[in-house]
């Protein structure tokens, strides 16, 4: 198996199943020690243990009215190409993979096709789903491993609904560990208990247990998704699209576009996420390194291609990547492609040979179209693009390209790319049976792989189609400063990791913050960074990214925010208030990418009482405590009615540790000391990494 040299995640998290110990790294290692280890231990390449073809079993237990089929013919999904890594042979012992399940995961092509028959004018209704979270064997990039599925499906089933509908999801957890499901971007107005964050809004669904999520879609529409929020098991496959339609959406099928597709992109590990975070939590680290890995490959709609020539363990492992992932689009049409980045780590830049495209949605808000050739998309973000399929003729094909944005990590990570095929099909079926590869070339002005990482709004002016000027001047401005630092673990050991306001999140999974606020009306804890808004109608939340070389995507639960300002360095609440920020029609979204050593000001309408998480959406960072909470109107929270089955989940001891490290912040190094040390270490790594000999392309 292999270990990545990615520096975006620097330690680990939760109590996970036992894992073989690896060598090296003493407890309490300094930043210099950590990067010495990274320099001396590299990626040990993952093995492939199966040459079985992609599975073809059908999924079960989802509501057919909400997961409509399609009569359109598609060749398999789209995806992945080659990746190049900086590597040295690791001498650490290997982590034993869990036994492979006897059942095989299903990949349903209809997950990625939105039917033209969907009734956007239907009366509000209850859309009910039965979901079982379980395990299956799958080889999405050629390497067979245990994956986590919903109803045996990987990726998880498509959910569609209309504004005003009520979603009821009966979830059975057939995994050996607890689980929760988060409905990413749904504000859960009036249903805070259904937000799905263990230790914050609920206790986990126990192994063999069940829980019913029930919530109304109130005044929302657009591109959402759902995923596990327990540890980083999202990275094992518990990811699915959630599309909300509305007759009031300004983007209209038949007017602005003719067809719709879904494109889910992610980085993919050959190791179980539990093994990775367990090993990272140990003094020895993961494969002898404290740095959590980048992906072994990139998947597009559940299919990728690993580099078989890089397999080192076991030496005799079979490896047979699947065919290129493909997406068939009707020729001479306008196709809306809803792109979801479900990666645990990677910001991707996406392009399509010979095609410019219009970006028309950011997260869930339709925006005035911006025409571009390359789309940067950070983990957890969503964009809709409209592609005009009139560049060629039926039967033509083009490379879809994904580049991992290694500049987010100061170029320490080697380039990694993926490719998929977009085919044009005519109404007579022309081009649908073609299996040849494209010969197209990439645009000649794409960003360099190590280019500075920036969010799309930093490159282009983005304004919502529905004009809403900045909310009135807020009555409060609060600051969350996120940083890398040194913390004291529960057992007295020094732990290097991430925190907000000098506090790394302690996940008390059987004593969630919501429950504590409901009982006491207020909340204060040394284990969870928290800010409280009691009477504010509007507030500015400032996020300072104090990490000098690490960029982070931040997601706010329970609220959509207006992006009011960005800037270099960091700012105080007083400095922001003195700016008198008031702008016309600012961008609205729920996930923002904040580059290293910069800040962003988010204006939030405080009309949704509840306890809401704000966290980094790099899954490995979240798993090691990069989460804070925002408490809105605690007096109203005390009047919440707790669902009976919600209360029934909290059967463990209130102090039991969950999937995030229990630790209290020590006085961290100063910002200047931290940045200086980090800078020196990164430069040492960049100067000493051993480059692979020869090409990595498959």
Of 692, 658, 693, 670, the closest CA to residue 200 belongs to 658
The alpha carbon dihedral of 510, 515, 520, 526 has a sign of positive
Q: How far apart are CA 501 and CA 638, in angstroms?
A: 26
**Range in 191-200, 205-214, 532-541, 664-673 the model is least confident about:** 664-673
Higher per-residue pLDDT: 489 or 676: 489
Burial 452-461 (b: 16+ CB within 10 A, else e): ebbbbbeeee
**Predicted local distance difference test score (pLDDT) of residue 666:** 36
More confident residue, 407 or 400: 400
Number of H helices, E strands in the chain: 9, 32
pLDDT computed for residue 41 by the predictor:
37
Cβ of 579: how many Cβ atoms within 10 Å? Answer: 14
Band (pLDDT 50/70/90 cuts) for residue 670 is very low
Q: What is the pLDDT of residue 400?
A: 99
Q: What is the mean pLDDT of residues 592-615?
A: 97
Q: Could you tell me what percent of the chain has a pLDDT over 70?
A: 76
Whole-angstrom distance, CA of residue 220 vs CA of residue 307: 42
Overall average pLDDT of the 250-277 stretch: 95
* Residue 57 pLDDT: 30
Residue 494's pLDDT is: 67
Looking at domain 476-676, its CATH class is: mainly beta
* Pairing relationship of beta strands 529-533 and 374-377 according to DSSP bridges: unpaired
Q: Which one has a higher pLDDT value, 31 or 351?
A: 351
Q: Give 433's pLDDT tier (boundaries 50, 70, 90).
A: confident
Q: Is the pLDDT score of 144 beyond 80?
A: yes
Q: Which of 118-132, 447-461, 675-689 has the lowest mean pLDDT?
A: 675-689
Residue 551 CB contacts under 8 Å (≥ 6 apart), including other chains: 347, 408, 453, 545, 593, 594, 595, 596
Q: List Cα–Cα distances, 272 to 13, 17, 56, 340, 654, in angstroms.
A: 14, 10, 23, 22, 28
Q: Which three-class secondary structure state does DSSP give residue 269?
A: coil
pLDDT digits (tens, 9 = 90+) for 281-311: 777 777 676 666 778 899 999 999 988 777 5
Q: Which of 590, 584, 582 is nearest to 608 (CA)?
A: 590
Summarised one tens digit per residue, pLDDT across range 540-561 is 999 999 998 889 999 999 999 9
Per-residue model confidence (pLDDT) at position 285: 73
Report, as an integer, the average pLDDT of 575-602: 96
pLDDT(486) > 70: yes
User: What are the strands, taking DSSP E only, across 282-388?
Assistant: 297-300, 326-330, 334-341, 348-352, 357-362, 365-372, 374-377, 382-388
Q: Specify the pLDDT at position 488.
A: 65
* Cα dihedral 162, 165, 170, 176 in deg (nearest 10): 50
Q: Is the pLDDT higher at 194 or at 322?
A: 194
pLDDT one-digit tens code per residue, 83-93: 322 232 333 34
Average pLDDT rounded to a whole number, residues 315-343:
89
Look at residue 261 and tell me whether its pLDDT is greater than 50.
Answer: yes
| Rounded Cα distance, 421 and 424, in Å | 10
**Is pTM beyond 0.75 here?**
yes
What is the pLDDT, as a whole number, of residue 256? Answer: 98
Please tell me the predicted confidence (pLDDT) of residue 286.
73
pLDDT for position 493: 54
- Min mean pLDDT across 113-122, 182-191, 203-212, 285-294 is at 285-294
In the predicted model, what is the mean pLDDT of residues 155-184? 98
H helix intervals, 215-360: 273-281
Beta pairing, strands 627-632 & 588-589 = unpaired
C-alpha separations of 658 from 20, 291, 554, 654, 655 in Å: 21, 21, 22, 10, 9
Contact 48, 318 (CB under 8 A): yes
Mean pLDDT in the chain? 81
Contact predicate 677/547, CB 8 Å = no
| Residue pair 595/385 in contact by the 8 Å Cβ criterion | no
- Which is more confident, 25 or 135? 135
The mean pLDDT of 139-167, rounded to a whole number, is: 97
């Amino acid at each position: 198996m292999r270990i990545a040299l990615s520096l975006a995640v620097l330690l680990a998290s939760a109590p996970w199943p036992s894992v073989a110990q690896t060598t090296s790294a003493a407890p309490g290692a300094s930043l210099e020690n950590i990067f010495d280890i990274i320099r001396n231990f590299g990626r040990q390449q993952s093995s492939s243990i199966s040459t079985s073809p992609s599975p073809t079993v059908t999924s079960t237990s989802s509501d057919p009215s909400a997961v409509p089929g399609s009569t359109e013919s598609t060749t398999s999904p789209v995806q992945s190409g080659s990746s190049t890594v900086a590597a040295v042979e690791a001498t650490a012992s290997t982590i034993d993979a869990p036994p492979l399940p006897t059942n095989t995961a299903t990949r349903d092509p209809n997950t990625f096709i939105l039917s033209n028959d969907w009734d956007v004018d239907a009366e509000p209704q209850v859309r009910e789903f039965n979901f079982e979270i379980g395990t299956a064997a799958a080889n999405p990039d050629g390497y067979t491993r245990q994956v986590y599925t919903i109803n045996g499906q990987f990726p998880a089933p498509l959910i569609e609904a209309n504004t005003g509908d009520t979603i009821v999801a009966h979830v059975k957890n057939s995994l050996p560990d607890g689980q929760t499901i988060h409905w990413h971007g749904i504000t859960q107005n009036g249903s805070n208990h259904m937000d799905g964050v263990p230790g914050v809004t609920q206790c986990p669904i126990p192994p063999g247990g069940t829980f019913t999520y029930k919530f109304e879609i109130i005044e929302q529409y657009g591109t959402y998704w759902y995923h596990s929020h327990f540890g980083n098991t999202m990275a094992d496959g518990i990811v699915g699209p959630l599309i909300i339609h509305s007759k009031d959406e300004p983007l209209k099928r038949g007017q602005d576009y003719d067809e719709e597709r879904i494109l889910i992109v992610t980085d993919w590990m050959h190791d179980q996420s539990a093994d990775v975070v367990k090993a990272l939590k140990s003094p020895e680290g993961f494969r002898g390194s404290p740095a959590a890995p980048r992906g072994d490959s990139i998947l597009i709609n559940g299919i990728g291609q690993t580099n078989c020539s890089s397999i080192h363990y076991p030496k005799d492992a079979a490896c047979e990547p699947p065919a290129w992932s493909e997406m068939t689009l009707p020729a001479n049409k306008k196709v809306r492609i809803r792109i979801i980045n479900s990666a645990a780590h990677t910001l991707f830049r996406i392009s399509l040979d010979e095609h410019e495209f219009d970006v028309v949605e950011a997260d869930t808000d339709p925006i005035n179209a911006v025409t571009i050739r390359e789309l940067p998309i950070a983990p957890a973000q969503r964009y809709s693009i409209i592609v005009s399929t009139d560049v060629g003729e039926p039967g033509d094909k083009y490379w879809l390209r994904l580049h991992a944005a290694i500049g987010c990590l100061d170029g320490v990570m080697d380039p990694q790319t993926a490719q998929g095929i977009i085919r044009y099909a005519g109404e007579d079926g022309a081009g649908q049976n073609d299996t040849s590869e494209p010969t197209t070339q990439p645009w000649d002005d794409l960003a360099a792989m190590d280019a500075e990482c920036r969010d799309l709004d930093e490159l282009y002016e983005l304004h919502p189609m529905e004009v809403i000027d900045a909310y009135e001047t807020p009555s409060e401005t609060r600051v969350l400063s996120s940083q890398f630092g040194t913390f004291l673990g529960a057992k007295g050991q020094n732990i290097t990791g991430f925190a907000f306001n000098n506090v790394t999140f302690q996940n008390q999974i059987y004593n969630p913050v919501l429950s504590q606020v409901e009982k006491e009306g207020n909340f204060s804890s040394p284990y969870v960074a928290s800010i409280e808004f009691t009477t504010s109608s509007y507030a500015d939340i400032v996020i300072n990214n104090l990490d000098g070389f690490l960029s982070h995507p931040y997601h706010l639960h329970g609220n959509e925010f207006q992006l009011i300002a960005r800037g270099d360095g960091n700012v105080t609440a007083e400095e922001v208030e003195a700016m008198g920020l008031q702008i016309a029609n600012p961008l609205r979204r729920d996930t923002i990418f904040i580059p290293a050593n910069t800040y962003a000001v988010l204006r939030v309408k405080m009309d949704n009482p509840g306890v809401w998480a704000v966290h980094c959406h790099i899954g490995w960072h979240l798993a090691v405590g990069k989460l804070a909470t925002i408490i809105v109107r605690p007096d109203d929270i005390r009047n919440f009615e707790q669902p009976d089955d919600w209360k029934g989940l909290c059967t463990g001891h209130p102090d039991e540790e969950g999937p995030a490290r229990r630790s209290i912040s020590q006085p961290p190094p100063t910002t200047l000391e931290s940045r200086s040390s980090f800078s020196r270490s990164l430069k040492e790594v960049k100067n000493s990494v051993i480059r692979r000999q020869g090409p990595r392309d498959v």
